[in-house]
Amino acid sequence: MPNLQEQFGQIDIYLFDQLLRGRIRPGMRVLDAGCGSGRNLVHFLMQGYDVFGVDTDPQAVEHTRRLAASLAPALPANNFRVEAIEAMSFPDAFADLVLSSAVLHFARCDDHFEAMLRATWRVLKPGGLLFCRLASSIGMERQVQRIAGRRFLLPDGSQRYLVDEELLLRCTAELGGQLADPLKTTIVQNQRCMTTWIIRKNLSAEC
């Protein structure tokens, strides 16, 4: 029997929580918007989910294609594409589950953030689930230094586009979604913080 590492790879612990709670089930179509090297896709590939992904890094996409070929050889290589999130070629209402893990905080400005978020939402089916993890200022408002707009310098030396609770709640309402869970923020020893934002798309919501 495969061990946990073999079954789940380096899956985000909060995504693993959604699996344990039964919100993600076999037969669902999964799209990873910013898939990187596929660290969140091992379980889905092994369990026969219909898996897709995009990333702007050609080497990362090639790694994900190789991972998919080894774990789910029937999946077409073109399921994994070198594309900007704001310009994804997948159709509207395409996936039951859309992943956005450590992606949106690389936005250059408000317009870029909105473009990526809207594109990510567009490909989600009504009734579907958006799983998002991104850097925020929640709980570290005094430790971050504003560069311009929502771009901040973090104590760990990185520069990120940081959201806060007000913005996330406003975006949830404007998109036509409902929080599936309360916002949850992890602070890493006053260096950075990551917020988990999980939204269910209303059945009546537009793409």
Residue 194 scores a pLDDT above 80: yes
pLDDT of residue 33 exceeding 90, the answer is yes
- Using the predicted structure, report yes or no on whether residue 186 has a pLDDT greater than 70: yes
Taking alpha carbons only, the member of 77, 96, 85, 74 closest to residue 28 is 96
pLDDT band, residue 2 (cuts 50/70/90): low
Burial of 99 from C-beta contacts in 10 A (0-12 / 13-18 / 19+)? buried
Domain 4-201 class, CATH top level: alpha beta
| pLDDT tens-digit readout, 63-91 | 999 999 999 999 999 999 999 999 999 99
Percentage of the chain exceeding pLDDT 70? 98
Determine the pLDDT at residue 176.
94
What are the residue ranges spanned by the domains of the chain? 4-201
